[in-house]
Homo-oligomer: A and B are copies of this chain.
Amino acid sequence: MKCECHPLPDGSVTSPGGFLAGAVSCGIKSGSEGAPDLGILFSPYPCIATGLFTQNKVKAAPVILCQDRLASGRAQAIVVNSGCANACTGGQGMIDAAQMAGLAADVLKIVPEDVLVASTGVIGVPMAMECISKGLAMMRLSNGGGHDLACAIMTTDTFAKATAVRLDLNGETITIGGIAKGAGMIHPNMATLLSFITTDAVMDADFARAALRRAADQSFNMVSVDGDTSTNDTLIMLANGAAGNALLRPGSARAKAFVKALTEVCVFLAKCIARDGEGATKLMEVHVEGAASTRDARIAARTIATSPLVKAALHGGDPNWGRILAAAGRSGAAVDPLRADLYMDGFCLMQGGRPVPFDEEAAATILRLPEVVFRLCLNLGDKSATAWGCDLSKEYVTINADYTT
């Protein structure tokens, strides 16, 4: 089979055929006058739709609404706001989320049941429904609106996160696009804060669900900014079938190529989230190899990427590798410190659990780079996993010490 996958310049959720998006500033995000804070993603054709959501027992109202509506396996639009999470807002929150969907459905002239809702921002504040209503009336959608939408979902993000890839499968062309927002309260468990994926591929609901789960497990579920799982984590994929390809069948080479491309999109966005973690100055990539099980590899990699001490050492450019081994040791994974080897980029820092003398000057140079890769070889099996995180800076404290006020 001939299969090629290319990134698209300036790709986003409107790169796949038939998707429209738009965004406006409607006044929900206080203190950021003029910043877009309300958006819509829309397909004029009905879509196969699937989602993954926070495992936090305290779920925001829009999360509960989406989980309920996605039981049908279909949807046609997502209305999303930043500035207010609509979480911990009681019964009124549920009413407001449903009303957001209803108002968007009126504008789009579709049934409310085909509209999904997502929110991000401060917890415990009621949704400003008059802003939503006013904003939706001003909304204009276009097939180049994906980047505006990526901007509208930002909170403490410093850059918009968007990408798309084009897949050539034996002459059929499929496009996958995605946007995301992250920054803080990032430690997803089966999903991420907010991310929307679009594709024009033809697929059924079961395939969509399995493909998204698989891609999320290698990407959004392996990224952490601060270990705090949000109440609003939402990852939704809409597939409108506009590419007209033959149905993707589980296990086929074409299906595998699609999942690989989807995973690429999700990994790109997940790495953006880590790189743009609140106050972050560096991206940390943690490979754990030689683990006794995939679960062990995953929890060890995630625990290292989440450890405040590893993150602070990375920030200071301090090759304090003992903290990396200590984090693996507390992760719950099987670890035999006398068999473990640790590498930072090319450098061996530890072998068989013992310090290896290294060139401190060269190590410090690597630690000043914007991306640092740690590789921990447990030498207990053949399973591996990769996680992403960021450094812990004073700026993280500044941002979070004074977020609502």
Chain A contacts to B: CB under 8 angstroms? 55-59, 85, 87-92, 122-126, 184-185, 187, 189, 226-231, 307-309, 312-313, 315-323, 325-330, 333-338, 350, 352-355, 392-394, 396-405
- In chain B, what residue has the closest Cβ to A400? B312
Contact B405 A334, beta carbon cutoff 8 Å: no
15 cross-chain CB contacts under 8 A? A57-B334, A57-B337, A58-B330, A85-B322, A88-B326, A184-B309, A185-B309, A189-B330, A230-B326, A231-B325, A312-B400, A312-B401, A316-B403, A392-B397, A392-B400
Give the chain B neighbours of A404 by CB distance below 8 A: 313, 318-320
What's the Cα separation between A151 and B362 when bound, in Å?
37
Contact A56 B326, beta carbon cutoff 8 Å: yes
What's the Cα separation between A230 and B308 when bound, in Å?
12
Contact among B189, B322, B336, B397 with A123 in the assembled complex (CB-CB below 8 Å): B322
- In chain B, what residue has the closest Cβ to A229? B330
Contact A307 B393, beta carbon cutoff 8 Å: no
Q: How many copies does the complex hold?
A: 2
- In chain B, what residue has the closest Cβ to A185? B309
Contact B400 A327, beta carbon cutoff 8 Å: no
| Nearest chain B CB to A392 CB, angstrom units | 6
Contact A403 B325, beta carbon cutoff 8 Å: no
Contact B397 A397, beta carbon cutoff 8 Å: yes
Contact A326 B227, beta carbon cutoff 8 Å: no
Q: A56-B326, A316-B402, A393-B397 are in contact. Are A309 and B88 (CB under 8 A)?
A: no
Contact among B122, B229, B399 with A322 in the assembled complex (CB-CB below 8 Å): B122
Contact B400 A309, beta carbon cutoff 8 Å: yes
Give the chain B neighbours of A394 by CB distance below 8 A: 394, 397-398
Contact B312 A396, beta carbon cutoff 8 Å: yes
What's the Cα separation between A229 and B404 when bound, in Å?
31
Give the chain B neighbours of A91 by CB distance below 8 A: 338
- In chain B, what residue has the closest Cβ to A308? B226
Give the chain B neighbours of A323 by CB distance below 8 A: 123, 185, 228
What's the Cα separation between A334 and B57 when bound, in Å?
8
| Nearest chain B CB to A157 CB, angstrom units | 16
Contact A400 B56, beta carbon cutoff 8 Å: no
Give the chain B neighbours of A56 by CB distance below 8 A: 326, 329-330
Give the chain B neighbours of A325 by CB distance below 8 A: 58, 88, 123-124, 231
What's the Cα separation between A236 and B400 when bound, in Å?
38
- In chain B, what residue has the closest Cβ to A338? B90
What's the Cα separation between A124 and B329 when bound, in Å?
14
Give the chain B neighbours of A401 by CB distance below 8 A: 312-313, 315-318
Contact A321 B58, beta carbon cutoff 8 Å: no
Give the chain B neighbours of A230 by CB distance below 8 A: 326
What's the Cα separation between A388 and B336 when bound, in Å?
31
Contact A355 B124, beta carbon cutoff 8 Å: yes
What's the Cα separation between A355 and B89 when bound, in Å?
7
Contact A318 B402, beta carbon cutoff 8 Å: yes
Contact A57 B90, beta carbon cutoff 8 Å: no
Contact A58 B189, beta carbon cutoff 8 Å: no
Contact among B185, B313, B337, B402 with A88 in the assembled complex (CB-CB below 8 Å): B337
A336, A393, A394 interface centre (most CB from chain B within 10 Å)? A394
Give the chain B neighbours of A397 by CB distance below 8 A: 312, 315, 392-394, 396-397
Contact among B185, B309, B321, B353 with A90 in the assembled complex (CB-CB below 8 Å): B353
| Nearest chain B CB to A226 CB, angstrom units | 4
Which 10 residue pairs spanning A and B have beta carbons closest together?
A123-B322, A316-B401, A58-B329, A312-B400, A394-B394, A124-B322, A90-B354, A229-B330, A56-B329, A57-B329
